[in-house]
A and B are shown apart, each in its own frame.
Chain A
Amino acid sequence: MAPRTPFDRRVLAGIAGMAAVTLLVGGAFAGLLAEAAGNWSGAVAAFDPYLLRITRFTLWQAVLSTILSVVPAILVARALARHPSFTGRSLILRLFALPLALPAIVAALGILALLGRGGFFADWLTALTATRWQGIYGLSGILVAHVFFNLPLATRLLLHALETVPADQWRLAAQLGMGARASFRLIEWPAMRAALPGVAGLVFMLCVTSFTVVLTLGGGPRATTLEVAIYQALRFDFDPARAVALTTLQIALTVVIVAVLMRLGANMAGDASLPVAPRRPVDAGWPERLVNGVAIVAALGFVAGPIVAIVAAGLKADLARLAADPAVHKATITSLVLALIAALLSVALSLALTTARRALELRRSRLAAPGLLERLFDTGAGFVLVIPPIVIGAGWFVLLRGTGQVFSAASAMVVTVNAVMALPFAIRAIRPAYDAASARHERLCASLGIAGFARLRLVDWPSIRRPALTALAFAMALSLGDLGVIALFGSNEVQTLPYLLLARMGSYRTADAAGLALFLGALCLLLMLVVDRSRRTG
């Protein structure tokens, strides 16, 4: 219908961005395929009972984690929705956003500081069980960590669903004199039930692909997931054939889960925004108040406990010596530089994809369906989440193994994989602002001939500066805390903070690890504060 429309350069930028992502993922698959083709019998032989056991454990811990996170979350979300304005409520909600910002290795250390062999609760637990407390490891450790991350996430998502109930419905319920049970059955449960499959699916997915928690708290072959097994196959057993088999299985597993999730309509990138509570009358009797209070306080303790433990244990460490440690300096600088480059790359990529998608949307007539390229720019980036970073890392590890350049590729791998990992989040931050600005300015720009770089500088950048900053800080925090890729590619030459932390833990320098965890946690928190501020003032 619009054959003479001149080609929009924005589309070209999007194609370039998509090509870069494809190259990264494609390279990984090429590595895996080449290895499988070269050592077919080895790869097939790797499908042994051990592999089956790992798969079973991966799924089993994810199922348990999901149940333990989501079922209490229903109670807590309902309690928070029933009491929309008590002192400290918004503080609790902010606290519940914290785990999302915390690197998994920092949280794992907090849990060890609390429930580990030498943790704050160790003596108490020894007295309680009448045997020397051996510390929380294996399945129970994994479950505690997963619930720490996902209970607050599920609570916030379910609360969000509850907040969509119109205020008039609550007023009506109050007017009709509905008790706690009736209002749960008629109002709260229907609202939460609609969101439940998506929330549970997201939590399940996060637990299936959890790497750091299982690596640090799993302890031993009895409690190992596919991702950790991939890492061990490459770093310790030098068994690429096994890694290929494990990776294939991991991809198959995530593809199936994501396919199911898409049908359930889950929001794959999660949501970090705070719901605002509408004014609504609450008429809760004292038994209900008691139950709600217990639910909220228990959840609060569960989330706050490890965070307090991180701070307490971190402050006990010899921080002055750590601050003077050249290894710490080097790791801090490496971490910050790599995270910044990854974040900048991520924002640039998401900008390219966002503008290209919009340009294609504008080109087609309003009634035509979006073309393949537009849909690729739209949801294509979301599919990156299907491929765990460990898998991409493993593919390139195998590919580069022959060249002897594995460890010199460390920086490039960390930057690119982290940038692509943060892509879906960055796009979610930038796209609404860009599309809204484009809707306002597109005709004006066309009639005045503002295009290309001048347009980016004069028109688009001022309207997306805030969300771009949000995306930048978020991507940086994500990248700072990531252990997945650096665990594979790290060496004495290239160490990031999480890698150094893992190394200190491995050599039983627990106090050092605790101090580093506090430092890394504070860094990520600082970045998330930037996110929060720019979001609220924006």
Chain B
Amino acid sequence: MNEGRGAEVLVENVAFSYGEAPMTFDLAVKSGRVVAVMGPSGSGKSTLLHLIAGFERPISGRIVIGGMDVTGLAPARRPVSMVFQENNLFAHLDVARNVGLGRSPSLRLSESDRADIDEALERTGLGGKQRRLPAELSGGERQRVALARVLLRDRPVLLLDEPFASLGPALRGEMVDLVRRLHAERGMTILMVSHHPEDARSLADEIAFIDEGRVAAFAPTGEMFSRAGPAAFRAYIGR
């Protein structure tokens, strides 16, 4: 895997259905870009991320990441990390072990792995909290642990499924800054589901607007938020 670099994400004609409304996604994200995935509830934002991560299997179409067809690969074998809205941590494992899972899924860690864990925690502002259990952390700290694990896994694509939705405005701002710093460092490709225009504005190069199970619009952030943006998108953000 090209370490420290992003990878191109291609979603080609991917069809999927939970049984009712069929969805078809088409999206090409260039390597190293940050894309905000926006759209009404139930439009298919999370489903798109789950398809890329491999939690859902497409009926047809293919998903190519960094030139490799990953459509049939198990989630763990894809060059992808994902942070969910909640349940990112195992409640019975302490912070260091939760992060360590990003290096070894059976927690067989060497001395250098441990040093890496400490460093990742330092970078995400969690220095000294190695032994804490998730229950002893605040909501924002828990998501920082998840991001520390992302650092340790070091995959070229990062998927964020509303990871800051349950945080207050100030805390959310801090987390967006953290993601920006990590991106500046590692240059990974990021797809981030969000309902907040300000997050998208401050972080995203481009916005993918999902509506009724398809990518209704995909354009640079400035363009989307301008008066020339698609009418449906403007109705969604309330302008």
Contacts and interface: CB of A to CB of B under 8 A. Distances in A.
Contacts of A462: 90, 92-93
Interface in A440-482: 440-441, 443-451, 453-455, 457-459, 462-463
A391 to B, nearest CB: 43
Interface in B58-103: 59, 71-72, 74-77, 80-82, 84, 87-88, 90, 92-93, 101-102
Given A367-B18, A444-B84, A448-B102, A458 B55 contact: no
Contact of B76 (A3, A441, A446, A453): A446
Question: Mostly helix, strand, loop or mixed at chain B's interface?
Answer: loop
Given A448-B76, A458-B106, A367 B57 contact: no
Contact of A449 (B53, B77, B88, B90): B77
Interface string B38-57: 00000000000000011101
A445 B55 CA distance: 11
B18 A447 contact: no
B238 interface: no
B168 interface: no
B18 A366 contact: yes
Given A440-B87, A462-B92, A446 B74 contact: yes
Nearest to B18: A366
B88 A444 contact: yes
B101 A2 contact: no
A4 B72 contact: yes
Contacts of B107: 454, 458
Interface string B208-235: 0000000000000000000000000000
B105 interface: yes
B101 A450 contact: yes
B227 to A, nearest CB: 40
Given A365-B19, A458-B106, A463-B92, A448 B101 contact: yes
Interface in A94-113: none
Contact of B75 (A441, A446, A453): A446
A370 to B, nearest CB: 15
A5 interface: yes
A285 interface: no
A447 B81 CA distance: 7
Interface of B: 18-19, 53-55, 57, 59, 71-72, 74-77, 80-82, 84, 87-88, 90, 92-93, 101-102, 105-107, 153
Given A366-B19, A447-B82, A450-B76, 7 more contacts: A367-B18, A444-B84, A446-B54, A446-B76, A449-B75, A450-B106, A462-B90
25 contacts: A1-B57, A1-B59, A4-B57, A4-B71, A4-B72, A6-B74, A367-B18, A443-B53, A443-B55, A443-B82, A444-B90, A445-B105, A446-B54, A447-B81, A448-B101, A448-B102, A448-B105, A449-B76, A449-B77, A449-B105, A450-B106, A454-B106, A458-B101, A462-B93, A463-B92
